[in-house]
Amino acid sequence: MIRWVFAIFIGLTVFSALLPWLEKLGIGRLPGDIKFKLFGRVFSLPFASTILLSLAVMLLAKFLK
């Protein structure tokens, strides 16, 4: 269980760092992605995009195996 929590945390951290580049492709603006402004800074929680990218990587790994 802790392994999944750690993997999700790492995935969200990496995704948040890449979000400005990925928004140009339309990723990060899905219905399950949350953006909010707090103290003048915009925070993004890309839940739906993370799930979508995880599924894509899993399918790619399955085909390459």
Q: How many domains does the chain have?
A: 1
Element of type H or E holding 36 = strand 33-38
Residue 38's beta-bridge partner residues?
A: 41
Domain ranges, residue 47: 2-64
pLDDT digit string (tens) for 6-42?
888 887 788 778 878 878 887 778 888 888 899 998 8
CA dihedral 9, 27, 23, 28 (to 10 degrees): -50
pTM of the model: 0.62
Helix or strand or coil: residue 27?
Answer: coil
What per-residue confidence (pLDDT) applies to 59? 93
